[in-house]
Amino acid sequence: MTKTIAIFGSAFNPPSLGHKSVLERLKHFDQVLLLPSFAHAWGKVMLDYSARCELVEAFISDIGQKNLTLSRLEEEMAVGDESITTYAVLVELQKRNPKASLTFVVGPDNFLKFSQFYQAEQILSKWQVLACPETVNIRSTVIRDKIVKNSDVSHLTTPKVATLLSEEKRFMFR
């Protein structure tokens, strides 16, 4: 039987309940890789990569969904601060998992821009692409805005992520 792997790439800047609502619908995959962007392709300003990975680990721990794994593949592939394309990630993952069936999960923000992805047609011809919008409309932008205003974010993300964001100065979005 072929292993099924879903790849959910995002800035995770920070992880939100919107992200969680997508992940809850991916339980049928053998493995779901949460893949934080190392450097954003469209120049989005983000928290430090290691800090975002720490938030994703806390997020995974809170959710408790057995098939979730943090993937630092983009960091491994990175050359300087250049962004890593989805196509390059999928090629590398397929090399590492030659018999696996890969599915790239696209959120609502990237679904509308998918044609702008590098090698979009190649991606569609070689792998599955699953458009999976969140069912809980909570975006990372809202969390960042609330943090800047020193407002509570516990209702917007998971408990451990909310605690890290409220207690740790290195997670500041100012």
Q: Is the pLDDT at 82 greater than 60, yes or no?
A: yes
pLDDT digits (tens, 9 = 90+) for 83-133: 889 999 999 999 999 999 999 999 767 788 899 999 999 999 999 999 998
Hey, where are the domains in the chain? 4-171
pLDDT digits (tens, 9 = 90+) for 96-105: 999 999 999 9
Of all residues in the chain, what percent carry a pLDDT higher than 90?
A: 74
The CATH T-level fold of domain 4-171 is Rossmann fold (3.40.50)
The overall pTM is greater than 0.85:
yes
CA 84 – CA 87 distance, rounded (Å): 8
Contact 102/94 with Cβ under 8 angstroms?
Answer: yes
Burial of 16 (0-12, 13-18, 19+ CB in 10 A): buried
CA distances to 44, 49, 89 from 60, rounded to whole Å, are 23, 16, 21
